Amino acid sequence: MRVAIITESFAPDVNGVVHCVLRVAELLTKQGHHPLVIAPRPPRDTRDPGPFPYPVVRVPAVPLPGYPSFRLGLPSHRVREALIRHRAEVVHLASPVFLGAHGAAVARRLGLPTVAVYQTNLPSYARAYRLGRTGEAFAWRWLRGIHNEAARTLAPSTATATGLLSRGIGNVWLWGRGVDTRRFNPARRSEQLRTALLAQGGTALPAHGGTALPAHGGTALPAHGGTALPAHGGRAQAPGGEVIAGYVGRLATEKRVELLAGITALDRVRLVIVGAGPAEAMLRQHIPDAIFLGERRGMSWRPSTPASTCSCTADRMRRSGRRCRRPPRAGFRWWRRPPGGPLDLVENGVTGYLVPPSDPGAFTAAVARLAADAAAAKVAI
């Protein structure tokens, strides 16, 4: 099958939509299909990644006002030309908003069926960025217009599917997520990495492969499966017995990372934050005792995950629960507020803890419970 994927974001960007598009295109190619990706053009001073084992067509893009790191793809004749040239049989709209809406209209005029993936909770973003009820209502109207024109909408969790149906979006199908167990695996737990992290105190580590935390291939990190790695289910503690709580993700207003600040006041607990984004400067000021690793890509950041005892996020907009699948496969606990995808994945008190929304004290108490109970730090996969 010849599949055209129209996405609002693509490499070199790092976010959930990009990750899913890369994996979908990769799997389609492996299974003998012929994907095409249509995506916004990156900034001129950014190297366009690739080559990819499938064609990628870029359209003109501009920085999103108020969020310049996100490029907004503009309607372009290149979309129609690319669909015709590729001889597309179906159009996959990856989290459609602006470029996706244009792509849907072009596909309709060409008589091509579309499948729309709901992944970005646009109405909640309107709330987070204080656009008011009018902005939220407009977002729902816009999304209904896109998704109800599609042959079907794919939702990543039952909670999301139910919410879409209640908002007048029909023909919703459940499309769950998986985990790459090569990347998220307890065998990657590293005592040497924990030592390097805790030796930094509260200061920030270099963002990209600095000497304090060697990049992929550095001698200070043990080899995958080496004897320095603790047994599966072991407690991830620093040399002084500290527990490491980790956050891995984009640093933006909607992620609510500031709710984790209380963790840094706990005895024998250190908070490590991996990621970058528009809220990074504010978070560094708000949580000065956290260890910030900056943005890390590929193998240079993967070891940061199994260096933790638990993974935390306060994002109220998590639709798929994709992050909730990764920590258990890496061998540690998860703390999360209840809405969205996590309800499908986290068994409260067994594989993680669900805490009330927007309650920093609840996050702190959950991590404190783990730090005080060695048995709770062990996870059976």
Residue 332 pLDDT greater than 60, yes or no = no
Among 16-20, 134-138, 316-320, the least confident range: 316-320
* Integer Cα distance of 99 and 64 in angstroms: 13
Quickly name the fold that domain 2-174 has.
Rossmann fold (3.40.50)
* Integer Cα distance of 78 and 88 in angstroms: 14
Q: What integer pLDDT is reported at residue 320 of this predicted model?
A: 45
Q: Is the peptide bond before 68 cis (omega within 30 degrees of 0)?
A: no
* Integer Cα distance of 271 and 245 in angstroms: 5
Q: What integer pLDDT is reported at residue 311 of this predicted model?
A: 67
Q: What integer pLDDT is reported at residue 326 of this predicted model?
A: 47
Q: What residues have CB less than 8 Å from 320, skipping those under 6 apart? A: 16, 119, 156, 157, 160, 176, 177, 340, 341
**Portions of the chain given CATH number 3.40.50.2000:** 2-174, 186-377
Residue 134 amino acid letter: T
What are the tens digits of pLDDT across the range 194-238? 777 777 654 444 433 333 333 333 323 233 333 222 222 333 444
What are the tens digits of pLDDT across the range 84-113? 999 999 999 999 999 999 999 999 999 999
pLDDT band at 316 (very low <50, low <70, confident <90, very high): low
- Counting DSSP H helices and E strands in the chain, the numbers are 11, 15
Q: What integer pLDDT is reported at residue 357 of this predicted model?
A: 75
For 115, the 3-state DSSP assignment is: strand
CATH number of the domain located at residue range(s) 186-377 in this protein: 3.40.50.2000
Q: Span 246-261, mean pLDDT?
A: 87
Q: Left, alpha or beta for 253 (phi > 0: left; psi -120 to 50: alpha)?
A: alpha
Residue 321 pLDDT greater than 60, yes or no = no
Q: What integer pLDDT is reported at residue 245 of this predicted model?
A: 87
Count CB neighbours of 201 within 10 A: 8
Residue 149 amino acid letter: E
- C-beta separation of 379 from 331 below 8 A: yes
Side-chain-side CA neighbours of residue 190 (13 Å): 24
Q: Span 41-46, mean pLDDT?
A: 88
Q: How many residues can be counted in the chain?
A: 381
Residue 254 pLDDT greater than 70, yes or no = yes
Q: Span 354-372, mean pLDDT?
A: 85
Of 171 and 345, which is predicted with more confidence?
171
- C-beta separation of 332 from 309 below 8 A: yes
What are the tens digits of pLDDT across the range 69-84? 789 999 999 999 999 9
Q: What integer pLDDT is reported at residue 59 of this predicted model?
A: 97
Residue 338 pLDDT greater than 70, yes or no = no
- Name residue, tokens 């891995």: 248
* Integer Cα distance of 332 and 72 in angstroms: 37
Residue 28 pLDDT greater than 90, yes or no = yes
Of 196 and 35, which is predicted with more confidence?
35
Q: What residues have CB less than 8 Å from 375, skipping those under 6 apart? A: none
Question: pLDDT averaged over the chain?
Answer: 78
What are the tens digits of pLDDT across the range 112-136? 999 999 998 887 777 766 677 888 8
